Structure 1
Amino acid sequence: MHVFHIATAAEWELALASGSYTTSTRGRTLAEEGFIHASRREQVEPTFARFYRDVREPLVLLTIDTDRLGVPWREDPVGDDTFPHLYGALSPSAVVRVQPLDRRGGTGSLTGMFVGEMAWRMGLVLGVMLVSGLGATLGRTTGATWGPFLGALAGLALGGAVAWAVSRRRA
């Protein structure tokens, strides 16, 4: 059987280096909680929406093969449902798949996420260049020697400010 766990990419990298994953859930360790929280596949997106939606660092979805676990696990009641809990440190050898999570909690290919992010950034760069060129063109109409330079500088400042504001809102 497979169960799933949402982890930060940084914590998972530490687990790979140390040979042991001990984060129970966001902001809580195995020692504090007594177990590692996991989910069945249909519980992953609701768990992401409730506990991880505002996390800005990269997240990964760990697919855990319960037959490979070296620690006990069981489904425990939580409210009106049950959730899988691992009662000990997770060995990376029990993880059969690691997938990056997008900002909606879905799994996509790393290539697809990279291309999407790069397209977004290139769009911002092209927008700043367009505003800068427009500023230089308008600066030429003043007839001053420094007009095009000052116009381009103003365009860059305006475009950069807009790009910064948009990227902050997107994050």
Structure 2
Amino acid sequence: MRIFHIATVADWEAARTSGAYTTSTIGRTLAEEGFLHASRGDQWQGVRERFYADVTDPLLLLVIETDRLTVPMVEEPVADSAETFPHIYGALSPDAVVRTIPLDGRPLPEQTFSQVFLGEVLRRVVLALLVMGIAVVGALVGSAVEPTLGASVGLLVGLVVGVGVALVVHRRR
């Protein structure tokens, strides 16, 4: 799952240098707040309008992959609202941030659910084809080396290597 956090460029650069992002929200640290504020895809623009409208420092939208978090993330209601927001209980590792988007006043392209869904499906299909291709190459190499069991062993080795490559490619995205 992806969640979002609005950060100043200066805070993000400091986090990349130190290896830990600890700004909860504008003017508040993790130590002061107890968690880092985050939002879902349908919430971050409202957060920007409510809390960051007067901020003159350059801002970034941090796109966070929750599978990469090394600390707990909890969906919690906020005061005076029935709406819940994701809260990150600990320092955010820059490795969990899969993308940064400058918020320089230009409108961001809107993506529909279908576009996001189809994009994710396409990425996974390409990764599956990559795994299958590496497995087939392994089988061909194995059968050339050892005619009896080589194809089976090569297929298995190719499959393991292919899954490893796919995982590395998926995590770096």
1:54 paired residue number? 54
AA at the equivalent of 1:9: V
2:102 paired with 1:100: yes
Residue 54 of structure 1 deviates from its aligned partner by: 0.8
AA at the equivalent of 1:19: G
- What do residues 18-52 of structure 1 show as CA deviations (whole Å, max 9, x unaligned)? 00000000100000000000000110110000000
User: So what's the TM-score if we normalise by structure 1?
Assistant: 0.61
The counterpart of 2:89, out of the listed 82, 87, 90, is 87
Please tell me whether the aligned partners of residues 72 and 86 of structure 1 are also in contact (alpha carbons under 8 angstroms): yes
Please tell me whether the aligned partners of residues 7 and 60 of structure 1 are also in contact (alpha carbons under 8 angstroms): yes
Residue 107 of structure 1 deviates from its aligned partner by: 3.5
**What are the ranges of 5 or more consecutive residues in structure 2 without an aligned counterpart?**
110-173
1:34 paired residue number? 34
1:127 paired residue number? none
2:12 paired with 1:8: no
**What are the ranges of 5 or more consecutive residues in structure 1 without an aligned counterpart?**
109-171
Please tell me whether the aligned partners of residues 53 and 103 of structure 1 are also in contact (alpha carbons under 8 angstroms): no
Which of 1 and 2 has greater Rg? 1
Residue 80 of structure 1 deviates from its aligned partner by: 1.6
After superposition, the Cα gap between the structure-2 partners of 1:107 and 1:13, relative to the gap in structure 1 and judged at 3 Å, is: farther
Task: Give the root-mean-square deviation of aligned CA atoms.
Answer: 1.2
Instruction: Among all aligned residue pairs of Structure 1 and Structure 2, give the percentage whose two residues are the same amino acid.
Output: 64
Please tell me whether the aligned partners of residues 73 and 84 of structure 1 are also in contact (alpha carbons under 8 angstroms): yes
User: So what's the TM-score if we normalise by structure 2?
Assistant: 0.60
Q: How many residues align?
A: 107
Residue 14 of structure 1 deviates from its aligned partner by: 0.3
